[in-house]
A and B are shown apart, each in its own frame.
Chain A
């Protein structure tokens, strides 16, 4: 009997049932995909880490090097240090690496080096997370370059340096835990030992040393680092700790994953809104039916059973289907992760964690049903038979009488006032439109922001036309002097400023010494936007990056003192400002030139340049690139492009994906919403038609209503993604060093293109799905 009733109910409400089913399935698919991504990220990150065995402390060094001192240090610190290995990097100029049709890697912001696989730890892996084992004549290319230069396995890479020429066949992708991320500005190519020896012999490139330590389980990283400095061991390059690798590695993935999860989360919200919508749309009918059943003498308990079972069956089926489908759908989202972190993503954590989604959705629905049924309990059979229970008891004052309308045609007015009268129903649609707009606008805003020259603000760089990077070479000091002279005499240069970054020691919150990168120079030429305070202007002033100012950095505020040790002398500086910087792990500082250089550890020279108006920047860049071989010449946009390159590209994909997802959802939900609304309103529509309204008239009413809801949703959505989005992105980015992101809004996109696209799509959807059934005899609905 009960089964028969359920079957009948399914049959009677085919469309609505299908809609509910689709919504529940969608909720499960997206929820499961989201949990799938999270569990994949957790599991494959730790798996990658387990295979790669990264260093806990890594110290870069260029110049004189003696391993025996380090061996002794390792011995002395055996309480903390488990393993030590020094990787000798053969750093190669990008212009010397040729590929494809006469292309070179000139202009990359990445430092390129050729290495052989370590023996003890810090392994570079292939796409199966196996240790790379490269044969003679072959090499493994970092995934970053494979993507940026679109290289394929089997392509040829030619090294052509100072008359020495060597060809390599690309045999593998190199997945490099320590240097995967574009933000890590070094990339390692892996070659065979014999090729490497040959290159060393022929003196291609400069040697750099990556002195790596792996700590014991309870080894103290801070102690080892301090001891290392105190021992005066080679250290004229940046020091990188274990967490920073994790951060860098997960950075672009985590940022992307966060956006995807955010989208998935929004989709889950949308899906649950849909379920609620369905309930609202069918409740009148359901209540009527419950009344009939009560009148038939079926007990309350049985009625409850009928309803609960109906939705139980539905959500269980949807849960299973959605759960299974999520494993296909998730592939849309995790391409980057599969490339950079794990090709297999084979962990079984995801199978378990993804189960959360169907279970939660199932419980949500059953609980909601119970809530509804509790309400039903209070309604007597007779009352339930009399429809319009939802309208009962509301003695609101009559609003929007027809005659007060002066602006619209009667049908448009009817549509608009319907939205007002049944706001509870349309409200859900508004939320859905807001969420969809959010999904479209947020990635777009982030994409535009990262793609804009303004983004340099978050990289600690003042806005300028061009930037020349001089990296550590034997001739760096001479080159730097020559460059400055050049710039002074060049009429094409409007203004320039030179900055020198050295590594210093700084007294941290605990009173011990840490390394800190400090840039010195004149910061008034290319002003940077400060979070707080201002740039250093006077002697003994220092400004620090947001990450440095924070509690897990130096924990300083504007006005606090900072003690810096330069060339063995301690100097006290006053913090005059805090700025945002996501480069170099977010921990940088800028000081007045009075700090003096730490000759031992000059890391790089940077010159920011503005050309005089009318000068072709491209030409000028080319000129400097040719004049200074060791230099990297970029415009700021290019600089951000390369550093954040694949993140920006992926964001582009996500932005487009977001638009696609949002459009699909909007189309699906709008059409389902209208289907439900029209079937719910069947009798009202029939009444209007019997009065002589054409189907077009009625269609106009619903179109006006839904479109007004759409416009409202879009406006709210755009505003929300601008303000809320900024807050959310800033919160997410603050761990990276940018605490106050301001979106660069490309107005025609956010305010015109996207809304118009949404309106157009929804408009078409409405006009297609707002089909008032005409074939049907009118009387079927009207007579009882």
Chain B
């Protein structure tokens, strides 16, 4: 198989003050294969988000190694990291991080228009297609104040996908949504994953994790267990059953 993201002895420490250091990630080793749909679970404060941000190069790790598509990113310059984020990574957040002064479709298109030789027409077509796929094509020209949370999150996903990333990172993207919207978002993510995009999702929601392929369990800065459940197929698999298995597994690991 093809590893897309690999961390070795990844450590993250944060200075809180004089002689007061918080060791958030402790020698984390992790491999994510191309096309995988991985979720990271764990109690609040265990370092899930920190792992996501350090693994994606958004934050600077304290020590260790992170390879993205075989390239070591720990020593990279800010510009190189930005370039990788632009072309190969997509991010979705719990807070809907859209730009205030742009309409939904402009938010979606923006990352694609940054490169100098962007083909505006093609970008526009693609953005429209993505909006259609996520079901918000009617809101394309709305300001971000004129859409609901779920709709904005869909736009966020479209934006993350506009440059055809290899991997999509999500930090509790459904955390602030009602359960209906959450499950719709998750279906969209599953759809995307099916088309080949690797996804790494941080969540504390069993319902969400149950729809992913591989679940990592983090406690206190370490990945203490992992469970492979195989890709979820709504036709084949019973979601209730998967959730039960997962809960049981989590309880075994002391959640």
Chain A interfacial positions (CB closer than 8 Å to B): 388, 391-392, 395, 398, 401-403, 409-411, 417-418, 421-422, 683-684, 686-697, 774, 777-779, 782-784
Contact = CB atoms under 8 A, between A and B. Distances in A.
Given A388-B145, A398-B141, A779-B49, A692 B82 contact: yes
Interface string B170-202: 010000000000000000000000000000000
A398 B99 contact: no
A403 B78 contact: no
A395 B147 CA distance: 12
Contacts of B138: none
Most buried by B among A422, A683, A686, A782: A782
Nearest to A391: B145
Contact of A689 (B82, B100, B106, B141): B82
Given A391-B100, A693-B86, 6 more contacts: A401-B141, A402-B109, A422-B101, A689-B85, A690-B85, A782-B97
Interface in B92-133: 93-95, 97-103, 106, 109-111, 113-114, 116, 118, 120, 124
Nearest to B116: A409
17 contacts: A398-B143, A401-B141, A402-B109, A403-B106, A410-B114, A689-B82, A690-B91, A691-B85, A691-B86, A692-B83, A692-B89, A693-B114, A777-B59, A777-B60, A778-B58, A779-B50, A784-B95
Most buried by B among A417, A691, A697: A691
Interface residues on B, range: 35 or more
A422 B99 CA distance: 14
A341 B102 CA distance: 62
B110 A783 contact: no
Given A410-B113, A418-B101, A783-B171, A691 B159 contact: yes
Nearest to A392: B145
Nearest to A690: B91
A345 B114 CA distance: 62
A402 B100 contact: no
What are the 9 A-B residue pairs with the smallest beta carbon separation, nearest first?
Answer: A692-B86, A692-B85, A777-B59, A779-B53, A694-B82, A687-B97, A778-B58, A402-B106, A410-B113
B82 A693 contact: yes
A419 to B, nearest CB: 11
Contacts of A683: 97
B114 A690 contact: no
Nearest to B92: A690
A684 B103 CA distance: 14
B46 interface: no
A205 B99 CA distance: 85
Given A402-B113, A410-B110, A694-B78, A388 B100 contact: yes
B57 to A, nearest CB: 9
A403 B49 contact: no
Given A692-B82, A779-B49, A395 B146 contact: yes
Given A684-B100, A691-B159, A777 B53 contact: yes
A774 B163 CA distance: 24
A160 to B, nearest CB: 78
A421 to B, nearest CB: 5
B114 A692 contact: yes
B59 A779 contact: yes
A619 B199 CA distance: 91
B87 A690 contact: no
B82 A782 contact: no
B252 interface: no
Most buried by B among A395, A409, A683, A777: A777
